[in-house]
Amino acid sequence: MSKLDFTLSAGPVAASPRTLAALGYPIVYHYDPEFLEQFARTSNKVAEFFATKNDIVLMQGEAILGLEGATRSLVRPGMHVLNLVQGVFGKGTGYWLTDFGAVLHEIEVPYNKAVDPAAVEAYLDEHPEIELVTVVASETPSGTVSDMSRIGPICREHGVLTLVDTVSGVGGMEFLTDEWGLDLCVAGAQKCLGGPPGVSLISVSPAAWEAIDRNPNAPTASYLSLTDWREKWLKGGTFPYTPSVSDIHGLEASLDEALEEGVENMVERHRRSALVARAGVRAMGLELWADSDDIASYCVTSVRLPEAVNHVELRSYVRERYGVMLSSGQGAGNIIRIAHMGPTASGLYPIVGLSALGRALLDLGQKVDVGAGIDAALAVLSEQRR
Ligand SMILES: *Cc1c(COP(=O)(O)O)cnc(C)c1O
């Protein structure tokens, strides 16, 4: 295996030196007063990151744990749920909803497009039986975003709860939990925050807690239980099980870095990297996957591949030959993704990804103008840094 020089994947992402150092702190007993204080402090920092006054629950497992726990907690058998699908994670939510007994309603668009908030509004107008909308704020495999600033308030006006997968949404796009009235939101540490993979960051509104309390199927005495975390940690200061101590050290360090930078500045940094990447892709003669720039995410740029090139094989080739780890389509399509997420949403990183991708395609006999792509990307970067 060739040496790995750059991780430009769509999560887990390369962590900053500060986060890596924190992951090496001494492992302490979880009831050590210092750890108890750190756990509470870290939750408060997550709340700031989410722009919310809602309760914060930190579940000790990668974001899928938080998403499954949240979905099971909210969904009662026979409950009407509207699921918005514009990619792989949205589609997966629908399978869960059906498994957990919901009556599934779905608005689905091709995975290079985004669900129109007006369609959500029209659907809710026609279906007053719907109690919950499930939505992915940033569909990482598609490299597209949902307009949460409109979808959130539309749901609120209809008295409908929201369950938001914002695993790669917070930090790489504007995400205002309280202002947009979002009820149950789940993020991950290992995406735009650049933290360790292993913690689910969850915000729960009072209305979401009420719905969970009304649900006889909400897990309790279970690793998936949000209720356990409320009863034990939020109300009693004890843990339902031992937290991942080192991950909390790493998470707090990555949050400190984010909050010192300022979440708005962080989003702007991701936006700029996306502009650099998109300019490069286009000038090389390649096509962006996202149908329009308005719905393309800031944290990852998805590139449509020529039919002759398979995305998984290309990813391996780029890694082996050039020491750069990109992401493949993960079920969204024959696409390769250059992530500019967390610490790599900066300066020349996207151009490293462009160089490796462009040259690899050339090696594989495709017609790409690598030089023009690099030149165009550098021109955007240079303008940004003026
Ligand atoms: C990363 C991510 C998750 C977590 O899923 P994994 O497959 O465990 O990485 C969930 N939702 C979205 C939108 C993500 O980007």
Q: What is the pLDDT of residues 66-121, one digit of tens each?
A: 999 999 999 999 999 999 999 999 999 999 999 999 999 999 999 999 999 999 99
Protein residue whose Cα sits closest to atom 3 of ligand 1: 167
- Tokens for 95, please give them: 């399978």
- Amino acid identity for residue 66 in this structure: G
Q: CA–CA distance from 147 to each of 91, 115, 271 (Å)?
A: 18, 8, 16
pLDDT greater than 80 at residue 250: yes
Question: What domains are defined for the chain?
Answer: 6-12+263-384 (3.90.1150.10), 17-260 (3.40.640.10)
Buried b (16+ CB within 10 A) or exposed e, 67-77: bbbbbbbbbbe
Q: What is the pLDDT of residues 273-291, one digit of tens each?
A: 999 999 999 999 999 999 9
Q: What does pLDDT average to over the chain?
A: 98
Report how far ligand 1's centroid is from the alpha carbon of 231 (Å): 27
Report how far ligand 1's centroid is from the alpha carbon of 138 (Å): 10
Q: What is the pLDDT of residues 187-232, one digit of tens each?
A: 999 999 999 999 999 999 999 999 999 999 999 999 999 999 999 9
Point out which residues pair with 184 in neighbouring strands: 163, 204
Ligand 1 atom with least separation from CA of 330: 7
- Tokens for 244, please give them: 């991942």
**9, 95, 140, 190, best to mutate for ligand 1 pocket (most atoms within 8 Å of CB):** 140
Q: Is residue 136 in contact with ligand 1, taking CB distance under 6 Å?
A: yes
Protein residue whose Cα sits closest to atom 8 of ligand 1: 64
Angle (deg, nearest 10), helices 63-74 and 88-99 = 40
When pLDDT is cut at 50, 70 and 90, the band that residue 339 belongs to is very high
Protein residue whose Cα sits closest to atom 11 of ligand 1: 167
- Amino acid identity for residue 222 in this structure: S
- According to the model, what pLDDT value does residue 1 have? 72
Q: Is residue 168 in contact with ligand 1, taking CB distance under 6 Å?
A: yes
Protein residue whose Cα sits closest to atom 14 of ligand 1: 167
Report how far ligand 1's centroid is from the alpha carbon of 290 (Å): 19
- Report the residue count for the chain: 386
Please state, in angstroms and rounded to a whole number, the distance separating the CA atoms of residues 341 and 168: 9
Backbone angles phi, psi at 298, to 5 degrees: -85, -15
pLDDT greater than 90 at residue 53: yes
Report how far ligand 1's centroid is from the alpha carbon of 363 (Å): 31
- Quote the pTM value: 0.97
- According to the model, what pLDDT value does residue 225 have? 98
Residues of the chain above pLDDT 70, percent: 100
- According to the model, what pLDDT value does residue 320 have? 97
The answer to whether residues 273 and 280 touch, using CB atoms and an 8 Å cutoff, is no
Q: Write down the residue that tokens 């939101």 correspond to.
A: 185
pLDDT greater than 90 at residue 2: no
